[in-house]
Amino acid sequence: MEELTHLDDEGTARMVDVGAKEATARRAVARAVVRMSPGTAAVVAAGDAPKGDVLGVARIAGIQAAKRTGELIPLCHPIGLDHVDVEAQLDADAGTVTLTATAGVTARTGVEMEAMTAAAVAALTVYDMVKGLERGVSIEAVELLSKSGGRSGKWVRA
């Protein structure tokens, strides 16, 4: 196991100093899955949700969240993203919305947290926008799918 770099000699949490690291192109992809009834999903698909365009608003919320990750996650470095996008796929029959967030940057630190934050906030936005139709909606997963760049190179979820 690698040495924990977010702890100082006394075991206190700290932000890692990445100043000596080389800036490299980095990319991360994360996914969140939201489950609802097929009836609620059909309303989302038809664009008839009481709060409006569920998937469009969720996409924008995810993008905004990625840009603010350094403010939300205490030890996360604030970075100027080169790219962030959130795609939403609705399977009305299964009652699922799959939100896939991609983040990219050339920097000294990775973008995994930005991609995961985008996916998570997009999923929370879907919940918020359909809770008037169904309270039992659940967010089933928020997970990193892949990352590339930096010292550890490429990683892909098996």
What token pair was written down for 122? 């997009």
Of 139, 141, 138, 144, whose CA–CA distance to 116 is shortest?
144
**Has 128 been annotated as catalytic?**
yes
**Catalytic annotation, pick one of 8, 48, 85, 128:** 128
Active site members: 128
